[in-house]
Amino acid sequence: MLQLQVIRENKEEIIKALSKRNLDASSLLDNILQLDEKRRAVQTQLDAALAELNSLSKEIGMLFKTGKAQEANLLKEKTGTLKEDSKKLGEDLNTTAEELQALLYQIPNIPHISVPAGSTEDDNEEVFKEGNIPTLSGDALPHWELAKKYDIIDFELGVKIAGAGFPVYKGKGARLQRALISYFLDKNTEAGYKEIQVPHLVNEASGYGTGQLPDKEGQMYHVGADDLYLIPTAEVPVTNIFRNEIVNQKDFPICLTGYTPCFRREAGSYGAHVRGLNRLHQFDKVEIVRVEHPSKSYEALNGMVEHVKEILRDLKLPYRIIRLCGGDLGFTAALTYDFEVFSTAQDRWLEISSVSNFETYQANRLKLRFKDEHGKSQLAHTLNGSSLALPRVLAGILENYQTPEGIKIPEVLIPYTGFNMIN
């Protein structure tokens, strides 16, 4: 969420920056500033009424002490009117503040200067590519057919149990899934991230804190009876650890990693491009989250990108890195790099990771602050990245490592799986 002071002081610059998202925010910002003026005017009136009420209360007390009860009672009538006025002003202030907050939630983050303008994923910029795309035999299969052939993932059984998008991993498929989770966590902890286990459901405040609400409310599974949401990513519970906290500057960088299942309704997703593991309602992901000093966050973002690169090099999967354009940028992100692995059997790139810097956008919602060297409270910067999301990594391994004899296991995973071939 953007800070009101920043909007007041930089309205035109913000309008220009948000145009990269193909958003004309001028009228929205005007409404916000008008509501802010009204809120401050009502606050001034309320403060004045309360101050007068406090002064009269003291005066009434003195009058009673000096035996001037008649004068005191006359003033008490005035305090009754002031109390009514204060009550109405307080209600008006709360209503105005709620309306203002609702409008602030509608403004996305300001894109970083390096974010290219653009409308769709076609306008994203490829900034890096590495790895050799293997040459497969003419009878190479996509991962959903490999899964059936070797009985390692059962999509139909998942439909029986829950519905489409909830696969059942079996035998060596389940062990490979577990191996990837352990490997990703080990790589992250070796890089200095502290492992943490978090709830898989969050309350509404947590959803608002990291920006999933109200923006992605329709994409989240909601448990109505308890007003809880199934997490779409570990980013939500992990980052909310710091909601309403003042962290110590000396503790930067704060680096956490965690594995969770993720739940996404993905409403309206149909067609061949979402077949098999390409898009699921439930999937596993290992996440990395950082809380940083503002002066270090882009250095940290670059470090996170290099970390994910190293994992993909270890897996020997061909991949590329995309800088998202304004039109494809997530609502809360200032800058995002997407990692995509090449699916040889599908002849297409599959997104497997997003690494993002949110700058102060989430921190302002979360009220996540630190004390600077002068003792002044400042908003921290938050970052997160997939390290990694499992379904498309698994799809890439199955398709790129297939041979006539079976599916080879990447060398780095063999100590985790205990086998080197699925056949």
Binding positions for L-serine: 233, 264, 287, 384
Spatial separation of the C-alpha atoms in residues 197 and 235, rounded to whole Å: 12
Identity at 334, one-letter amino acid code: A
Detail the residues annotated as belonging to a binding site for ATP.
264-266, 351-354
* Structure tokens belonging to residue 15: 């309008």
Detail the residues annotated as belonging to a binding site.
233, 264-266, 287, 351-354, 384
Identity at 322, one-letter amino acid code: I
Spatial separation of the C-alpha atoms in residues 213 and 175, rounded to whole Å: 35
Cα–Cα distance list, 69 to 55, 57, 66, 80 (Å):
17, 13, 8, 16
Residue with tokens 């809380």: 291
- Counting every residue, how long is the chain? 423
Spatial separation of the C-alpha atoms in residues 97 and 118, rounded to whole Å: 34
Spatial separation of the C-alpha atoms in residues 317 and 323, rounded to whole Å: 19
Cα–Cα distance list, 143 to 168, 233, 280, 318, 351 (Å):
14, 24, 14, 16, 15
List beta partners, residue 421.
Answer: 408
- Pair 137, 404: CB distance under 8 Å: yes
* Structure tokens belonging to residue 288: 């990395």
* Structure tokens belonging to residue 13: 């610059």
Contacts 24+ apart (CB under 8 A), 211-220: 211/1, 211/331, 211/332, 211/358, 211/361, 211/362, 211/365, 212/236, 214/105, 215/105, 215/331, 215/332, 216/331, 218/265, 218/267, 219/264, 219/265, 219/266, 219/267, 220/263, 220/264, 220/265
Q: Phi, psi at residue 153, to the nearest 5°?
A: -140, 130
Edge-to-edge strand ranges of the sheet holding 246-247: 246-247, 369-371, 377-379
Q: Phi, psi at residue 243, to the nearest 5°?
A: -65, 135
